[in-house]
Amino acid sequence: MDEQWLQQTLAELSSKMPQYQDRALLAATQIYVTELAQRLTNGQGELDGRIWNHEQW
């Protein structure tokens, strides 16, 4: 998933929305996308660490 593209698209949509509820939903979605990207990065790092753990070979 291209996080930067999604973040940019959500920001553009948010700036065009006149209602607070819509902007709030998009802001919450941006936060979720950022956290999800961090979880994916952490998960990939953990997987790499477990694969290269020579004690478990």
Work out the pLDDT band at 1, boundaries 50, 70, 90. Answer: low
> Secondary structure of the chain in the HEC alphabet?
CCHHHHHHHHHHHHHHCCCHHHHHHHHHHHHHHHHHHHHHHHHHHHHHHHHCCHHHC
| pTM (2 d.p.) | 0.74
- pLDDT tens, 3-56? 899 999 999 999 999 999 999 999 999 999 999 999 998 888 888 777 886 776
